[in-house]
């Protein structure tokens, strides 16, 4: 389990990191927590010539409240999110999601930004980011830009992040009044990645009618997607069990479900529906 030889860089500012990326181009990979990249390198499936480690870049880690959102630095570890009292009080579902990732060793090193930039199709963060309508803040030589989560995931381990950009922050809107959010997953028995994971955020008005809903599905396909059919089945309706059940039937629509040892297309599509139902049910319970 030894990786091939590589050059190791530790820039001390975003600017320096971007400079290295510009200079080294395709030969360089960004190292955040390393819990996806390093195992691939150890198996020699990835053999980058240069690693640009962000650990010494100040200001990229930490969570703060900013203009109705939680601003999560890209280098914030899963454990920091899981244990943050700010997250627990303002957007506790993020803390729950973080606690479902890997094991404590993974959570203490793996980062939110690393996960979202790597875009593993079975990662946990994408589903909840979609459900909550997060935004990714990217920085390049020409400055910062913000990408909506719906425009972020492009395909298998592919995102809207430019080759010459860094993901520096994730902004997650706080829950509006009357909103409940939940993420439930069916973990892979070996890796604990999501075979299927569904996140739901539901806003109910005083009459119990759903005024806003976000549903994200991860694990089943090559990328995480918004379950638009499920959302359409919920919006403007009173979310009783039968309505949720009916809406959840659309959970696998738009997901390019991939068969593997853990499940056939049929089974994983079924799991999408089951977990959409369960996530919605829990979100509604929390909203009420």
Partner 1 sequence: MATATDDRLFGKSIKRREDPRFITGRGRYTDDLKLPGLTYAAFVRSPHAHARIRGIDTAAAKAHPGVVAIFTGKDMTGVNSLPCGWLLPELKVPPHPPLATDVAQYVGDPVAVVIAGDQETALDAAEKVRVDWQVLPSVTNTDKASAPGAAQLHEVAPNNVAFRWQIGDAAATDAAFKSAATVVKKRIVNQRLVANAMEPRACVARYDTATDELTLWVTSQNPHVHRLLMAAFVLGIDEHKVRVIAPDVGGGFGSKIFLYNEETVCSWASRKIHRPIRWTATRREAFQTDAHGRDHITDAELALSKDGKILGLRVKTIANLGAYLSTFAPAVPTYLYGTLLNGVYEMGAIHADVTGVFTNTTPVDAYRGAGRPEAAYLIERMIEAGAAALKMDVAELRKLNFIPKFADGYQTKVALLYDSGDYGAAFDKLLGMLDYKKFRGEQEAARKQGRLLGLGFSTYIEACSIAPSKVVGSLGAQAGLYESGAVRVHPTGKVTVLTGSHSHGQGHETTFAQLVADQLGIPIEHVDIVHGDTGRVAFGMGTYGSRSASVGGTAILMSLNKIKEKAKKIAAHLLEASAKDIEFEKGQFQVRGARDKAVPFGQVALTAYVPHNYPEGLEPGLEETSFYDPSNFCFPFGAHACVVEVDRETGQVKLLRYLAVDDVGNVINPMIVDGMVHGGIAQGVGQAICEGAVYDDASGQLVTGTMMDYAVPKADMLPMYETDRTVTPTLVNPLGIKGAGETGTIAATPAVVNAVVDALAPLGIDHIEIMPLTAQRVWQVIQGAKGAKGPVGAKA
β-strand pairing of 158-159 with 7-9: unpaired
Binding to partner 1 (CB under 8 A) within 224-263 occurs at 261-263
Q: Out of 8, 26, 190, 207, point to the residue binding partner 1 (CB under 8 A).
A: 190
Q: How many CA atoms lie within 13 A of 282 on its CB side?
A: 16
* Least distance to partner 1, CB of residue 263, Å: 5
Residue 94 or residue 272: which is nearer to partner 1 going by CB? Answer: 272
Q: Taking CB under 8 A as the rule, does residue 34 contact partner 1?
A: no
Residue 152 or residue 193: which is nearer to partner 1 going by CB? Answer: 193
Residue 15 or residue 42: which is nearer to partner 1 going by CB? Answer: 42
Q: Out of 5, 26, 58, 85, point to the residue binding partner 1 (CB under 8 A).
A: 5
* Least distance to partner 1, CB of residue 258, Å: 14
Residue 82 or residue 165: which is nearer to partner 1 going by CB? Answer: 82
Binding to partner 1 (CB under 8 A) within 39-98 occurs at 39, 43-44
Residue 188 or residue 286: which is nearer to partner 1 going by CB? Answer: 188
Residue 62 or residue 267: which is nearer to partner 1 going by CB? Answer: 267
Q: Taking CB under 8 A as the rule, does residue 189 contact partner 1?
A: yes
Q: Taking CB under 8 A as the rule, does residue 214 contact partner 1?
A: no
β-strand pairing of 143-148 with 135-140: antiparallel
Q: Which residues bind partner 1 (CB under 8 A)?
A: 1-2, 4-5, 39, 43-44, 186, 188-191, 193, 261-264, 267, 270-271, 274
């Amino acid at each position: 389990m030894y990786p091939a030889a590589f050059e190791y860089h530790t820039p001390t500012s975003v600017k320096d990191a971007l400079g290295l990326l510009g200079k080294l181009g395709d030969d360089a990979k960004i190292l955040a927590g390393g819990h996806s990249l390093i195992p691939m390198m150890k198996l020699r499936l990835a053999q980058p010539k240069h690693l640009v480690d962000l650990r010494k870049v100040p200001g990229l880690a930490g969570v703060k409240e900013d203009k109705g959102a939680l601003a999560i630095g890209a280098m914030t570890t899963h454990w920091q999110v899981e244990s943050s009292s700010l997250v627990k009080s303002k957007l506790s579902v993020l803390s729950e999601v973080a606690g479902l990732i890997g094991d404590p060793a993974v959570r203490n090193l793996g980062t939110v930004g690393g996960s979202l930039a790597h875009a593993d199709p079975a990662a946990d963060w994408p589903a909840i980011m979609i459900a909550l309508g997060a935004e990714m803040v990217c920085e390049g030589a020409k400055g910062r830009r913000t990408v909506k989560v719906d425009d972020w995931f492009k395909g298998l381990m592919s995102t809207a992040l430019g080759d010459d950009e860094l993901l520096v922050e994730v902004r997650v809107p706080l829950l509006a009044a009357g909103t409940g959010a939940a993420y439930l997953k069916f973990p892979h028995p070996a890796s604990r990645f999501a075979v299927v994971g569904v996140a739901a955020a539901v806003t109910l008005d005083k009459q119990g009618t759903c005024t806003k809903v976000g549903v994200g599905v991860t694990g089943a396909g090559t990328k995480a997607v918004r379950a638009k059919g499920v959302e359409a089945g919920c919006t403007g309706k009173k979310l009783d069990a039968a309505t949720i059940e009916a809406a959840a039937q659309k959970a696998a629509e738009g997901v390019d479900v991939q068969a593997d040892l853990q499940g056939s297309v049929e089974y994983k599509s079924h799991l999408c529906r089951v977990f959409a139902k369960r996530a919605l049910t829990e979100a509604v319970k929390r909203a009420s």
